[in-house]
Amino acid sequence: MAPAKLVVCVSQASSSLERCIVPTKLAVARCSAFLVALALAMVFGFCLPLAGQQPPHCAQNLFCLFNQEAAAPSSEGVHKYSKDLIGLIVFNPAGDDSLRQITNRLENRLATAEEAARAGSGKLVSETAVVKAFNDLMQEIGAPPSMKANEASVHGFREHTASIKAFPALFSANRNGTNCNPGEAVFLLSLLLSDNGTLYNGNLDTAVELMHWDPKRGGATGLGFGVAGLESMSASASGLLLWYSSHHNIRANMALFNQTGDTLGL
């Protein structure tokens, strides 16, 4: 079982950003892990302030955190949920203005689709579309053939969420079968990016366990593997996507992520 790379919030970023300039594709091995960690840190700067409002360790647990955001009923809550989700797939650790334009558009598209789906007037997203969105992304950025998703993995993962009744606001297999809410689809895409096209049930189980971990009783916190797992991201789908975004202009990036949004029906 592969280690979970997105279970634990990254809450601090190094000041070494200026040293992490990637001049060639080969150099991504040195910098992409740090940049992805920094991107997640920027997305989840709210993790620690919310710690007192969550169940134990929810503020350090992306599944739990996004489950709470998915449960927010207000339009404002849906927009925040959408913004944070897009931050998981469009990495912008340096605050690039062109990438910010892309994320703003995708956030609005996702929020509109999510609200419509919740109201019963919009479309759900099929598991097939989630898989296609990932595979198309990998093809466009020149990822190796091994980085490919399949429907069996996505469906099995979603079935597992339903069977253990985990994070019911975030995952909807028990209600929608092989279809997903738009926000759920984007979250699944981010997990596929984290683990090179495979969804691991063990990551979900770990996230559930983290909610009930008692620091007074000792034992592993789960914090170590979440951060250590980022070290291998230099050869990951996330790392390659980050490299692509940082080495292409706004037109190319817009086309890439618009295609993803279109595939997901946003």
User: Cβ distance 184 to 118 under 8 Å?
Assistant: no
User: Is residue 254 included in any domain, yes or no?
Assistant: yes
Number of structural domains, the chain?
1
Question: pTM here?
Answer: 0.78
Q: Residue 222: what are its φ and ψ, rounded to 5°?
A: 90, -10
User: Is residue 11 included in any domain, yes or no?
Assistant: no
Domain that holds residue 39: 26-263
What is the full per-residue pLDDT of the chain (266 aa) written as tens digits? 444 444 444 333 333 333 333 334 434 434 444 444 444 444 444 443 443 445 555 767 889 999 999 999 999 999 999 999 999 999 887 777 888 899 999 999 999 999 999 999 999 999 999 999 999 999 999 999 999 999 999 999 999 999 999 899 999 999 999 999 999 999 999 999 999 999 999 999 988 888 776 656 555 444 433 333 444 445 689 999 988 998 888 899 999 999 999 999 99
User: Is residue 9 included in any domain, yes or no?
Assistant: no
Cα dihedral 164, 165, 167, 170, rounded to 10, equals: 110
User: Is residue 236 included in any domain, yes or no?
Assistant: yes
Distances (CA, A) of 253 to 42, 57, 193: 20, 35, 17
User: Is residue 1 included in any domain, yes or no?
Assistant: no
